[in-house]
Chain A
Amino acid sequence: MKKVRALIVDDSSVMRKIVERSLRQAGIDLSEVLEAANGAEALGALNQGAVDLILCDINMPVMDGIEFLKQLKAVDGAKSVPVVMITTEGNEAHVVQALSAGARGYIRKPFTPDQVKEHVIPVLEKP
C-alpha cells in the first residue's frame, strides 16, 4: 500500500493521537498527519496540499462533521478524498446521515485498532 497523507479532525487532541496510533497499528504507512480541531479548521488544512484520507468526528464546536462533509464537496480536488467518520454518535440515523453526506465509512467510539483496520483499509483500496 502506498504512503498515506491523512487529515484527522477531532476536537480532542488526545483522540487525534489515538486515531493516528490506531492507523499506524492497522499497518497504514502514514507519510504525514495533519490535524484539525473542527470542520472549519479541516477545510483550512486542505489548503496545505492534497490528502489521501480524512478521519472525522461528528460532534465538534464551530463546524461539526456533517457540515464539514457537505462543504467538502465544494472543495476542488478534495471531493473524492475518502472520509471515515469516527464518533460517539452510534445510532442508525447518524450513520445514514453521514453516509448520505458523503462519508465512506463509520467507526463508533470506543474503537479498537482492528476496527480501524477493518473500516479504513477497504476505503483506501477502493478507487
Chain B
Amino acid sequence: MRPANQVLANNRNQEEFPPLLEQSAREVFQIMLGCELDPPTEVPSPESFEFTAMVGLAGELCGVITFRCSAQSAMLITSKMLGGDSKYPDEQVWDAVGELCNVIAGTFKNKLTRISERCMLSVPTVITGANYSYHSLADSGCVEVLFTFSESVVSVSLEVHS
C-alpha cells in the first residue's frame, strides 16, 4: 500500500477534497431529499450537533467521513427520505442519518477516480447526543464543509489516516 501522502499527491492535493465533499453532499441532498444546501450563515457550536454519523474508508485512502446535524435536522432528513411528516422512532432516524452519510461517503469515494476501486466503505455508525469527546487518529489532516439545511447548520468532514 502506498503511503497516504502519496495517495494525496496522486489526487493532486488535499485541497481537492473540500470541493469534492461539497459536491457529494449537495448531490445527495438534492437527489435523496429534494433539497438544496445553502452556504452556512453562522459558525455552529459543537453542542448543536446532536447526531453524528460516521463511515470509515479503508484501503488506499484510510479515514472517516462524518456527517453532523441537529436533532431537528435529523428528523427533517428522515421525513424527507421517507416522504412523510409523522414522528419517527429513534431507530428510523438513526438509520436515515447513517444512510445519508453512507451515500455521501460513497459519492465522494466514486469521485476519487484513481483510487475509488481500491477503497472500501464501512457500514455507518451513528452517535446521538452532543456531549462526547472524539479522539481521532487522523494524522494527515481534516477537512470540513458546512451548509445550511432548513435553517440549521450541518457539517460534512473527512479525516485522513496514513
**Chain B residue with minimal CB distance to A112?**
B31
Output the residue of A14, A59, A90, A93 with the most chain B CB within 10 A: A14
Q: How distant is the Cα of A122 from the Cα of B143 in the complex, in angstroms?
A: 42
| Alpha-carbon distance A14/B100, docked complex (angstroms) | 10
Inside 8 A of B98's CB, which chain A residues have their CB?
12
B31 touches A13 (CB 8 A): no
Asked if A119 is at the interface of the complex by the 8 Å CB criterion, the answer is no
Number of contacting residues on B, CB 8 A? 25
**Stretch of B2-10, B42-50, B101-109 at the chain-chain interface:** B101-109
Does A90 lie within 8 Å of B82, measured CB to CB? no
Partner of B32, one of A13, A59, A110: A110
What is the size category of the interface that chain A forms with chain B? 20 to 34
Interfacial chain A residues near B150, Cβ < 8 Å: none
Smallest beta-carbon distance A60→chain B, Å: 8
Complex-state Cα separation, A17 to B137, whole angstroms: 36
Q: For A87, list chain B residues within 8 Å (CB).
A: 106
B28 within 8 A of partner (CB): yes
Known contacts A61-B123, A92-B117; 18 further A-B pairs (Cβ under 8 A):
A12-B95, A12-B98, A12-B102, A13-B95, A14-B99, A18-B82, A21-B83, A59-B123, A60-B123, A88-B106, A89-B106, A90-B106, A90-B116, A108-B106, A109-B107, A110-B31, A110-B107, A112-B31
- Which of B's residues lie within 8 Å of A, judged by CB? 27-28, 31-32, 78, 81-83, 91-92, 95-96, 98-99, 102-103, 105-107, 109-110, 116-117, 121, 123
A interface list, Cβ under 8 A from B: 11-15, 17-18, 21, 59-61, 87-94, 108-112
